[in-house]
Amino acid sequence: MATGQPTATGATGQEETATSAAAQEGRVAGTTGQRMSPGQGSATGAAGKEGTATGAAGPGPAAGAAGQGMASATAWHGGAEAVAAAGPGRQAMTPAEAALAALGGTGAREWPRPRSCRMITIANQKGGVGKTTSAVNLAACLALHGARVLVVDLDPQGNASTALAVEHRAGTASVYNVLVDDQPLASIVQAVADIPGLYCAPATIDLAGAEIELVPLVAREARLSRAFADYDASSLDYILIDCPPSLGLLTVNALVAVAEVLIPIQCEYYALEGLEQLLRTIDLVKSHLNPTLYVSTILLTMYDGRTRLASQVAEEVREHFGEVVLSTVIPRSVRVSEAPSYGQSVMTYDPGSSGAQAYLEAAREVADRAAELGQTG
């Protein structure tokens, strides 16, 4: 894939495609947020996936699909098998299986897994750039493809916890207790219901006070890092940390605790403003607190292919940051913004949508990068 070129899903700039409409029609189990009992809904599910398979029968990888305006042409394997697997008469699928099938994957080829747990902080002090959306959907994609993933919600708003439908009412054991009360991380981690292998350390509104409560504590910048040190992450492949929209102590804790930073950048005019401050903070943390820290990934989000501005911003970011920027661009997609209100990732909510397909490609790039760096086992 040539850099500088948004991939198929980003390039179309279309909210939804014929294929995703087909997927919606046969909206699979995941949409309702309920597990289907055997015999329920498998026929409709199959219809939806048939639509997907048509797209997937194309050349496969994203590059071949560019300009076709067909999100699901990005599916890279197993489209037809998916339909076969989901065909009438078969056992009804779990939401995760349904999502995988509609995404064009049957799990036949697993993605490369890192040798040890990759810890990635998703940061940008600007609000509304897609931090939470990216954390949740990349994590869901990676888990759907066989990885074991923990999402740490470090935003008092608890948006990632909401999107993953984990309990996070005030008083729930949460990241707050880990940071402020030294409670073990393992004691607050919850499994995400619909996606095996996906876990969440929830944030409650209590965390809003942590920014101040942390100030007088010993090693206040390294509280999360210390919690990770006491946590057995050996069974995990990824930890993704969703940061609040600020560069306060919570974000600094997230930067001290990991090696990799992923910066989502919204493809709009003000996108690059404030980025310098974020990079300066990352540098400061690197030189004083965490020498291993580096920006491993930049993800362009909310790309609107109908505007010149979006492509100009994308181009500028690529010029400036080069290979760190993922080839895949996440398009604006109504489905992406609807999913959290159903307590779901877009991957289970509407796996045929352009947003889900783009996150699938982006997650695969993230997984493949470890392979390129020789970090897989």
Ligand X SMILES: Nc1ncnc2c1ncn2[C@@H]1O[C@H](COP(=O)(O)OP(=O)(O)O)[C@@H](O)[C@H]1O
336 binds ligand X (CB under 6 A): yes
Phi and psi (nearest 5°) for 122? -100, 105
Nearer to Mg ion, 74 or 121 (CB): 121
Nearer to ligand X, 76 or 349 (CB): 349
Question: Which residues in 344-373 contact ligand X (CB under 6 A)?
Answer: 355
Number of residues that bind ligand X (CB under 6 A): 18
Coil/strand/helix, residue 191 = strand
Of 27, 49, 126, 131, the one binding Mg ion (CB under 5 A) is 131
132 binds ligand X (CB under 6 A): yes
| Partner from ligand X, Mg ion, none contacting 318, C-beta within 5 to 8 A by type | none
Is 39 in contact with 24 (CB distance < 8 Å)?
A: no
Helix axes 95-103, 354-372, angle to 10 degrees: 80
Nearer to ligand X, 131 or 145 (CB): 131
Question: Concatenated DSSP letters for 32-61?
Answer: GTSPPPTTSSHHHHHHHHHHHHHHHTSS-S
Min dist CB 253 to ligand X, Å, is 17
Q: How far is CA 71 from the centre of its chain?
A: 18
Coil/strand/helix, residue 169 = coil
Min dist CB 226 to ligand X, Å, is 25
Q: Tell me the C-alpha distance between 348 and 32, whole Å.
A: 9
| Partner from Mg ion, ligand X, none contacting 300, C-beta within 5 to 8 A by type | none
Residue 210 tokens read as: 């942590």
Question: Which residues in 243-282 contact ligand X (CB under 6 A)?
Answer: 245
333 binds ligand X (CB under 6 A): yes
200 binds ligand X (CB under 6 A): no
125 binds Mg ion (CB under 5 A): no
74 binds Mg ion (CB under 5 A): no
Q: Tell me the C-alpha distance between 219 and 143, whole Å.
A: 33
CB atoms within 10 A of CB 352: 32
Helix axes 275-288, 249-256, angle to 10 degrees: 50
Q: Tell me the C-alpha distance between 127 and 131, whole Å.
A: 8
290 binds ligand X (CB under 6 A): no
Nearer to ligand X, 85 or 201 (CB): 201
203: nearest Cα among 230, 239, 260, 163 = 163
330 binds ligand X (CB under 6 A): yes
| Partner from Mg ion, ligand X, none contacting 10, C-beta within 5 to 8 A by type | none
Q: Which stretch binds Mg ion (CB under 5 A): 5-13, 125-133, 182-190, 285-293?
A: 125-133
301 binds ligand X (CB under 6 A): yes
Q: Which stretch binds ligand X (CB under 6 A): 167-175, 203-211, 273-281, 325-333?
A: 325-333
Q: Tell me the C-alpha distance between 181 and 175, whole Å.
A: 10
Q: Tell me the C-alpha distance between 145 and 344, whole Å.
A: 17
Min dist CB 131 to Mg ion, Å, is 5
Q: Which residues of 169-178 are buried (b: 16+ CB within 10 A; e: fewer)?
A: eeebbbbbbb
Residue 135 tokens read as: 């954390």
Number of residues that bind Mg ion (CB under 5 A): 3
164 binds ligand X (CB under 6 A): no
Question: Which residues in 132-161 contact Mg ion (CB under 5 A)?
Answer: 132, 159
Sequence-distant (≥ 6) Cβ neighbours of residue 235 within 8 angstroms = 148
332 binds ligand X (CB under 6 A): yes
The contact set with Mg ion (CB under 5 A) reads 131-132, 159
The contact set with ligand X (CB under 6 A) reads 127-133, 159, 245, 301-302, 330, 332-333, 336-337, 340, 355
